[in-house]
Amino acid sequence: MELGKYSMGIGDRFSHQAKAQLSGIKKAEAEGIVIIPVWNKSFREHQIIKSNPDETRAQADEAVASLNWGHGHFVDADHVGLKTIDHFLNSCDFFTLDVADFIGKKAEDKNLNEFVENNKKFCGSLNIPGIEKPFEITQDIIKTIAEKFLFAIEEAGRIYRRLAEAKGNGNFVVEVSMDETDYPQSPIELLFILSAIAKENIPAQTIAPKFSGRFNKGVDYVGTVEDFEKEFEQDIAVIKFAVEKFALPKNLKLSVHSGSDKFAIYGSINRALKKHNAGVHLKTAGTTWLEELIGLASAGGEGLQIAKEVYRKAYNRYDELCGPYKTVIDIDTKKLPDPDEVDKWNEEKYASVLRHDQSNANYNPNFRQLLHVGYKVAAEMGERYLNALSKYEETIAKNVIENVFDRHIKKIFY
């Protein structure tokens, strides 16, 4: 099973927007740009919403059938490890093996030494085509990198073998992710991580490193754009080099996690993809749930009422909701509006404070991030929330499509 050059991870927390999301992707297809949709949902999300991967699979398949999508699609077991993978074996065909928690744990000495021995050939001035300056590599550098990452990649190997045993080799796409950690990985670390992935015989088609800068959920990139662009291009060059040297899958490409709404770096990504003729997997998730809220608010009536209630409850349960997402949100609580004030807002005001349009003076990234992690509140509303999704489907779909196509696809893949 092969993932195409361009692919996009889309999240659909309440399993109601798959068709709208695919409609956005189809707008690009109509203009000759094919992006493979990958519906992703993590164990954490499934637990909070009390949903299961079968539902994601059913929604995705139904959207694909009803819109006659002919280019393949996937359902991603997002951020799984040995403890959670069984849950996803039946319904998924894309697996994001998350080994970030194992970074820094030391592999056995024997394995470390063997790894250094096998990679000794890169010592000295290492020229990687596409990167201006050579890297100066020593055995010590390789050893330090191995001490940091080898055990994590061995863990990825253990998860992969469990998968291959259950589903059969080649029947799914594998991604290795190490983005949910404190420190970014440098291009040269990436090179030796890929060497370890090849050694473990993991046929990874995507790799999600942690890039420099902050990738907060649902809001823009925070960091130096020039540095990101340089790092991103170097990562692309390293991947090309590694694919040849280590015989990794030819379509191996970068995966950008928490990739929604990073408008500041979309220009850099777009340029780098063109310049190097490279592919990318852009993983987004909660941004669609926010479009549901915007659609509900814009519709007025009961829709706006629900949107206001979700905010009030999220505001009152700040610690509980933000806790699991601590490393991927930055909320200035002083800038959160009081729920009593929000209750006075009309549909337009609510939508414009939440919608990610930086040219609108009403836009409030703090409000947006809190609601991003506030989907648990909507999940607890149960039928009432789901009924509203059906009732206001048209307004919501319009917002979902515009977000997927205009704010994301057009900026990255065009």
Specify the stretch interacting with Zn ion by CB under 5 A; choose among 172-180, 185-193, 319-327, 369-377: 172-180
H-helix or E-strand containing 39? strand 36-42
Which range, of 15-23, 174-182, 337-345, 381-389, touches Zn ion by CB under 5 A?
174-182
Tell me which stretch binds Zn ion (CB under 5 A): 125-133, 168-176, 249-257, 392-400.
249-257
Among residues 19 and 257, whose Cβ is nearest to Zn ion? 257
Smallest distance from the beta carbon of 48 to Zn ion, in angstroms?
Answer: 16
Shortest approach of Zn ion to residue 148 CB, angstroms?
Answer: 19
Query: 304 — phi, psi (to 5°)?
Result: -65, -40
Using CB positions, name the residue nearest to Zn ion.
Answer: 257
Q: Under a CB-based contact definition with an 8 Å cutoff, are residues 375 and 291 in contact? A: no
The binder of Zn ion chosen from 93, 154, 155, 179 (CB under 5 A): 179
Query: Is 97 or 400 the residue whose CB approaches Zn ion more closely?
Result: 97
Q: Is the dihedral of CA 219, 223, 224, 225 positive or negative?
A: negative
- Residue 132 is classified by DSSP as S
Report in angstroms the alpha-carbon separations of 342 from 193, 309, 330, 349. 48, 10, 21, 9
Cα dihedral 141, 143, 148, 151 in deg (nearest 10) = 150
CB of 9 to Zn ion, least distance (A): 9
Q: Given the complex with Zn ion, which of 193 and 351 has the nearer CB atom?
A: 193
CB of 96 to Zn ion, least distance (A): 7
**Contact status, residue 100 vs residue 178, Cβ threshold 8 Å:** yes
Count of C-beta atoms within a 10 Å radius of residue 412: 21
Helix, coil or strand: residue 326: helix
Least gap, CB of 12 to Zn ion (angstroms): 16
Binding piece for Zn ion, criterion CB under 5 A, among 175-183, 233-241, 288-296, 365-373:
175-183
Cβ proximity to Zn ion: between 175 and 309 the closer is 175
Residue 128: burial class (beta carbons within 10 Å; 0-12, 13-18, 19+): buried
Nearer to Zn ion, 257 or 355 (CB): 257
Residue 79 Cβ vs Zn ion, minimum distance, rounded to whole Å: 6
Q: What share of the chain is helix, strand, coil (3-state, %, to 5)?
A: 55, 10, 30
In degrees and rounded to multiples of 5, residue 120 shows phi and psi of -55, -30
Identify whether the C-beta of residue 3 lies closer than 8 Å to the C-beta of residue 206.
yes
**Which is closer to Zn ion, CB of 78 or CB of 231?**
78
Based on the shown chain and the rule CB under 5 A, indicate whether residue 155 belongs to the binding site for Zn ion: no
With respect to Zn ion, which residue has the nearer C-beta, 205 or 395?
A: 205
Cβ–Cβ < 8 Å for 6, 279: yes
| CB of residue 259 to Zn ion, shortest distance in Å | 9
Shortest reach from residue 372's CB to Zn ion, in Å: 14
Alpha-carbon distance of 408 to 287, in angstroms, equals 11
Select from 50-58, 177-185, 238-246, 285-293 the region that touches Zn ion (CB under 5 A).
177-185
Restricting to residues 303-332, name those near Zn ion by CB under 5 A: none
For Zn ion, the closer CB: 163 or 328: 328
Structure tokens at 272: 């780098």
Separation of alpha carbons 70 and 79, rounded Å = 27
Write down the least CB distance from residue 211 to Zn ion, Å: 11
Nearer to Zn ion, 257 or 407 (CB): 257
Q: Which is nearer to Zn ion, 45 or 233 (CB)?
A: 45
For Zn ion, the binding residues in 80-139 under the rule CB under 5 A are none
Distance CA 96, CA 174 (A): 6
Q: How far is the CB of 258 from Zn ion (least distance, A)?
A: 6
Q: How far apart are CA 196 and CA 248, in angstroms?
A: 11
Number of residues that bind Zn ion (CB under 5 A): 2
For Zn ion, give the closer residue by CB, 44 or 50: 44
Q: Contact letters (x/-) for Zn ion, 252-281, by CB under 5 A?
A: -----x------------------------
Q: Which residues contact 60 (CB under 8 A, 6 or more apart)?
A: 18, 37, 39, 73, 75
End-to-end CA distance of the chain: 25
Candidates 176-184, 315-323, 362-370, 384-392: pick the segment binding Zn ion (CB under 5 A).
176-184
Compute the least distance from the CB of residue 382 to Zn ion, in Å.
Answer: 28
3-class DSSP state of 127: coil
75 within 8 A of 42, measured Cβ to Cβ: no
Binding site for Zn ion (CB under 5 A): 179, 257
